[in-house]
Amino acid sequence: MKNLKGLVILFILLLAVVLSIVYLLPYLQKERNINIEDRKSGLEMVTKNYAAAIDSSAAIFKVSSAYLKALCMLECGGRRVFEERFEPHVYEKLKQVKFGTLNNYEHVTQAMLEDANDDALKNLASSWGPFQLMGYKCLLLDIKVKDIRGENAIYYGTKWIEMTYGDYLKSKKFKDAFHIHNTGRPYPTLGIAKTHDPEYCPRGKKYMAYFGEK
């Protein structure tokens, strides 16, 4: 009986070691492979990491390159590696749409979420890419979440911006554009900004000046 108990304990210990190797080692390896440069933030990092892709996409969609660079600075600090932001309240809204207790959420309908499992809903309720687009925005573009967080994130992010509030950019209403990106609505005619950071729009305008917008 003692031998059996010892074997059980040994088995549990070995299992713990195996699970640690399977789940922990890849994570540690991933962290080791991340260049410290990829974590750096700043206006110069926006230029280094994203300027070429932003200039290209801005030309394709005929929107301000300086605005996109300023937005990139506001949303990810110009970093190449950063964490997605999960929004629990958006997740709850999407669940309500999926299960029919809410008709739609920002044009997302039940039909769009028919095949979405819980992990998919969490991805749709998280923000991704240099412009930190919410995952469910990909549904408007008829693409996958991976497309707004991968190599084409700048292209698809710019496409979404042009489709959503491109008219404000073409009219040079940049304060409204920043406010729309952060809150979904233009800058209030009366009252204060509704952005998570009261200085979000002013900082955006300041960054635009740095990137050459007069």
What digits encode the pLDDT tens for the residues 15-61?
665 555 555 445 444 445 556 776 788 999 999 999 999 999 999 99
- Residues 116 and 39: their CA atoms lie apart, in Å, by 32
Question: Of 38, 60, 44, nearest to 211 (Cα)?
Answer: 44
- Per the DSSP assignment, residues forming a β-bridge with 33 are none
The gap from C-alpha 79 to its chain's centroid, in whole angstroms, comes to 12
The 10s digit of each residue's pLDDT in 147-204 is: 988 899 999 999 999 999 999 999 999 999 999 999 999 999 988 999 999 999 999 9
- Residues 178 and 204: their CA atoms lie apart, in Å, by 7
Backbone angles phi, psi at 188, to 5 degrees: -60, 140
pTM for the whole structure: 0.80
- Residues 187 and 168: their CA atoms lie apart, in Å, by 11
The gap from C-alpha 104 to its chain's centroid, in whole angstroms, comes to 21
